[in-house]
Amino acid sequence: MFDDNIDVIKGDEIDLLLEGIYRNKRNVKLYVFHIYKKGKFNRIGRITLRLDENEEIYYIGHIGYNISKRYRGNYFAAKSCLLLKSLLSTYKVTKEIILTVNPNNIASYKTCKYIGCTFIDSVRIPKKHKLYTPKDCIKDRYLMSII
């Protein structure tokens, strides 16, 4: 595991500032970062790294992100993922990370392509699962190699 005292990950264009380290209801360890444009104080988004393996991760992936509308189209989600990849590589935490995407989410598909992910499969979310909705019942799963 890497040092829980990491509070910022610096990149060329963006920085990730650690909001906190949490555990969710299923005891998954979450590292939640705010995304800032270099040298600016306006938050442009948020990215969460989930370090665990269970059914929840199978459907939602190890990384989740959200970029504010006015900052979309600049690959900030992809650049944030690459910063996390660098951190994971440095600390040799894992060899691979799973990202999941709704099949109709073109922006997230482009993010996976930009960061060099490989398509694994499409999975149907069980109707009893908390993520299931009739409009959101399939996830495309992508693999991001760390090493």
| Spatial contact of 49 and 62, defined as CB atoms under 8 Å apart | yes
Residues 6+ apart with CB under 8 A from 40: none
Predicted local distance difference test score (pLDDT) of residue 79: 98
**Domain parsing of the chain, residue ranges:** 8-145
Task: Report the alpha-carbon distance of residue 78 to residue 28 in Å, rounded.
Answer: 23
Could you tell me which CATH number the domain at 8-145 has?
3.40.630.30
What confidence tens digit (pLDDT) does each residue in 125-138 have? 999 988 889 988 99
pLDDT category at 2 given cuts 50, 70, 90 is low
Question: Alpha-carbon distance 140 to 98, whole Å?
Answer: 10
Kindly report the average pLDDT of the chain as a whole number. Answer: 91
Q: What is the pLDDT of residues 107-116, one digit of tens each?
A: 999 999 999 9
User: CB under 8 Å to 15, separation ≥6 — which residues?
Assistant: 8, 9, 35, 36, 38
Nearest-angstrom CA–CA distance, 146 and 136: 28
Q: pLDDT confidence of 44, banded at 50, 70, 90?
A: very high
User: Cα torsion at 103, 36, 33, 13 (round to 10°)?
Assistant: 70
DSSP 116-147: T-EEEEEEEPPTTSTT-BTTB-EEEEEEEE--
DSSP code for 25: T
